[in-house]
Structures are given as structure tokens and as C-alpha cells.
């Protein structure tokens, strides 16, 4: 039976992979993230299974290659954490889970928009404190608002369709436009027009060298005063320090983040008994109009089931030299 080292394992990962790969694989669950130090824990395995914050840069790939490992499966869609070109040069076979429930992420994005627009994060605490005053909770209707969607792939298009149902006017930017976009409420525009017109800007493009820090001082300066910014894609799309300045100057009135550039040191862990040294992250938490979730958008029962199932299918195909549609 093939042995698989699973890095960054959480209890829900081991449960799901054990279920979907029952009788097929010998799982070695490792709770730490993969890096140059932990790579040795893959010794004796036939493949490694990794997640969003595992490090698959050149030195880590060298370490895995030295252990004789040739197969890497990602139990996620994004692969900005993998040096794909170098992995291929070393002869690795790589596969990912390209499409697990885009609805999970799109619905989380909508949840963040509604939570911020109706100040539910504040209302929840108030009512628990027997404070039923509405002062300071004034919201705004989504109906009639202009929403900018950057990246209309699987998640962006699903988000655009949901927002159309709310009666929003949706402006989209994507170098590869999609024909399935609802034409009555959504249209493609140039990025500059999106920034100028949108009341809400939501990011759904991958993190690449071109999109790194696309939300920065210059792009924020083009946006409407009072804009809502939502990022459920990857933290590196945003220059967080510029966004903090945008919050202080009130250019940004609402910020919803499910991802954060330095999240690898924070997210997916219980740090409630620790002192968090990341001062940029701590500053973000001081704003009353900032909502942060810890890379949770994918986390639905439906998405987890698809991730487990497709990861096991990818492993089965790659380790048995069969065709795999999800190869990178």
C-alpha cells in the first residue's frame, strides 16, 4: 500500500482522507507545515499531500527529491506556494483540486459583505451584552450597489451571479472573459473603471507576480471614498500597510479578509494563549470596520468532501501511472 505524508494536518483532514482513501493508502499525518525542517518527516513515503501554507520552494523540493519522493498532491486550488517550474525540472508529478465547491468561497464572500454592511459583528456582541440600542448600526442596502469582481473564474462568476440576485450592478475584470456571465446585470470593464465605480471591490484572481500587491496606495487612490474591500483569494494580493492607511484616511469604510499575506504563521492554529508578534495584523484587529476570518471560506462539509475525494483520486492516478486531469 502506498504511504502518503500529509502536512499541515488538522483533525478534519485526517477524518476526510481516512474516509475517502479507506483501504488504499497508508497515511502519515503530520500536524506541522511542510518546510526545510519538517520535510524529513516525509522519509519513507511515496507522496506528500500539502495545503495552502505549506512551503514548496526550491530548497524544500530539493529535500523531498533527496528522499526519493516524486509525487505531490495539493488538497487546494491555489498553488502560489509551489515553485512549479522547478518541481517539474526535478521530475515531480503535481496535482491539485482545481474546483471544489466554488459556492463555498462565494457564499463566504457574500457572508462577509452582509456582515459588514449590516454590522452584524457588532450587533451580535451588543445583544449578548443586553444592549439593544441601534445607534451606530446603520447599514446600507446591497440592492442597487455597484460591485467590482476582479477575476471571474469559478469563484468570481459564482459570486457575480449571487450578487445579481441581490439586484447589484456587477462590473468585472478578467483577462479571459467568461461568456456565462449574466448579461443583464454584469459587464466587463477596464480595471480603472471598476476602481472608480465600485462601492464594493471583491478579489477572486490568483496570486501571481502580476497580481502581487495589486491593491496598493495607487489602486486605493482610484477607488471611491468609503469603499468596501473583500479578499477571499490570497493575502498577497493586498499591500496590507497601504490598506491600513486607507482605513485610517477613511478611503476604505469596510474591510473583509479571509486571507492575509503573513497568514502562514497564524492561521489554522489556536494561538489564544500566545502573544501575537505581528503588529500589522494586530493593527488590523483594532478597527471596528474590519472583519477577519482565518482562511475559512473553503470550509464547508460539501467542499471538504470534494477535496478528500479528488485528492484520493489524484493520488491513485499519479501513483499508478494513470492519466490525471488535475495535473499542474
Question: Would residue 263 show up in a list of annotated catalytic residues for this protein?
Answer: yes
Per-residue contact string for residues 243-282; x = within reach of ligand NAI by CB under 6 A: ---------------xx-----------------------
The CB-of-212 to ligand NAI minimum distance in angstroms stands at 10
- Long-range contacts formed by 315-320: CB under 8 A, 24+ apart: 315/2, 315/4, 315/21, 315/24, 315/25, 315/47, 315/49, 315/71, 315/73, 316/24, 317/95, 318/47, 318/71, 318/73, 318/93, 318/95, 319/2, 319/46, 319/47, 319/71
27 in contact with ligand NAI (CB under 6 A): no
78 in contact with ligand NAI (CB under 6 A): yes
- Residue for grid cell 500587491: 213
Site for ligand NAI in 281-300 (CB under 6 A): 295, 297-298
Report the residue number, 67 or 294, with the smaller CB distance to ligand NAI: 294
Task: From 42, 50, 32, select the one nearest 269 (Cα to Cα).
Answer: 32
151 in contact with ligand NAI (CB under 6 A): yes
Residue range at the interface with ligand NAI (CB under 6 A); choices 7-15, 148-156, 179-187, 219-227: 148-156
Rounded Cα gap, residues 103 and 182, in angstroms:
17
Report the residue number, 150 or 170, with the smaller CB distance to ligand NAI: 150
Report the residue number, 28 or 81, with the smaller CB distance to ligand NAI: 81
Contacts of 245 (CB under 8 A, 6+ apart): 217, 220
156 in contact with ligand NAI (CB under 6 A): yes
Q: Yes or no: say if 107 and 157 are a contact pair by the CB < 8 Å rule.
A: no
Residue range at the interface with ligand NAI (CB under 6 A); choices 12-20, 170-178, 240-248, 264-272: 170-178
Q: Yes or no: say if 247 and 255 are a contact pair by the CB < 8 Å rule.
A: yes
Question: Would residue 261 show up in a list of annotated catalytic residues for this protein?
Answer: no
**Which is catalytic among the residues 96, 108, 234, 251?**
234
Residue at shortest CB range from ligand NAI: 153
75 in contact with ligand NAI (CB under 6 A): no
- Using CB under 6 A, which of 21, 102, 148, 235 touches ligand NAI? 102
**Which is catalytic among the residues 96, 204, 251, 295?**
295
Task: From 174, 200, 201, select the one nearest 188 (Cα to Cα).
Answer: 174
Buried b (16+ CB within 10 A) or exposed e, 218-245: ebbeebbeebbbbbbbbbbbbbbebbbe
Question: Would residue 213 show up in a list of annotated catalytic residues for this protein?
Answer: no
Rounded Cα gap, residues 72 and 41, in angstroms:
14
Site for ligand NAI in 211-230 (CB under 6 A): 211
Report the residue number, 207 or 312, with the smaller CB distance to ligand NAI: 207
Rounded Cα gap, residues 288 and 118, in angstroms:
13
- Residue for grid cell 508578534: 277
User: Which residues of the chain form contacts with ligand NAI (CB under 6 A)?
Assistant: 77-78, 102, 105, 150-156, 173-176, 204-207, 210-211, 232-234, 258-259, 295, 297-298
Active-site annotation, residues: 234, 263, 295
Amino acid at each position: 500500500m502506498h504511504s502518503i505524508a500529509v502536512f499541515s494536518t488538522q483533525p478534519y483532514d485526517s477524518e476526510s482522507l481516512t474516509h475517502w482513501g479507506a483501504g488504499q493508502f497508508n497515511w502519515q499525518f503530520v500536524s506541522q507545515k511542510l518546510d526545510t525542517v519538517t520535510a524529513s518527516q516525509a522519509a519513507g513515503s511515496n507522496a506528500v499531500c500539502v495545503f495552502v501554507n505549506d512551503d514548496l520552494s526550491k530548497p524544500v523540493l530539493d529535500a523531498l527529491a533527496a528522499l526519493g519522493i516524486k509525487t505531490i498532491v495539493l488538497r487546494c486550488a491555489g498553488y502560489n506556494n509551489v515553485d512549479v517550474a522547478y518541481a517539474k525540472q526535478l521530475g515531480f508529478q503535481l496535482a491539485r483540486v482545481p474546483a471544489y465547491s466554488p459556492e463555498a468561497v462565494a457564499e463566504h464572500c457574500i457572508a462577509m459583505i452582509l456582515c459588514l454592511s449590516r454590522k452584524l459583528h457588532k450587533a451580535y456582541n451588543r445583544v449578548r451584552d443586553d444592549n439593544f440600542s441601534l445607534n451606530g448600526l446603520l447599514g446600507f442596502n446591497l440592492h442597487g450597489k455597484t460591485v467590482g469582481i476582479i477575476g471571474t473564474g469559478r469563484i468570481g462568476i459564482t459570486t457575480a451571479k449571487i450578487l445579481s440576485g441581490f439586484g447589484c450592478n456587477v462590473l468585472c475584470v478578467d483577462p479571459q472573459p467568461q461568456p456565462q456571465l449574466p448579461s443583464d446585470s454584469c459587464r466587463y470593464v477596464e480595471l480603472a473603471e471598476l476602481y472608480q465605480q465600485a462601492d464594493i471591490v471583491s478579489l477572486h484572481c490568483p496570486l501571481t507576480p502580476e497580481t502581487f500587491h495589486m491593491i496598493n496606495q495607487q489602486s486605493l487612490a482610484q477607488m471611491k471614498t468609503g469603499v468596501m474591500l473583500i479578499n477571499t483569494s490570497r493575502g498577497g494580493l493586498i499591500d496590507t500597510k497601504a490598506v491600513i492607511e486607507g482605513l485610517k484616511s477613511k478611503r476604505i469604510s469596510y474591510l473583509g479578509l479571509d486571507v492575509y499575506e503573513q497568514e502562514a504563521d497564524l492561521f489554522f492554529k489556536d494561538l489564544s494563549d500566545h502573544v501575537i508578534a505581528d503588529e500589522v495584523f494586530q493593527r488590523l484587529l483594532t478597527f471596528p470596520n474590519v472583519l477577519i476570518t482565518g482562511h475559512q471560506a473553503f470550509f464547508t462539509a460539501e467542499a471538504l468532501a470534494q477535496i478528500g475525494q479528488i485528492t484520493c483520486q489524484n493520488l491513485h492516478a499519479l501513483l499508478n501511472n494513470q492519466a490525471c486531469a488535475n495535473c499542474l
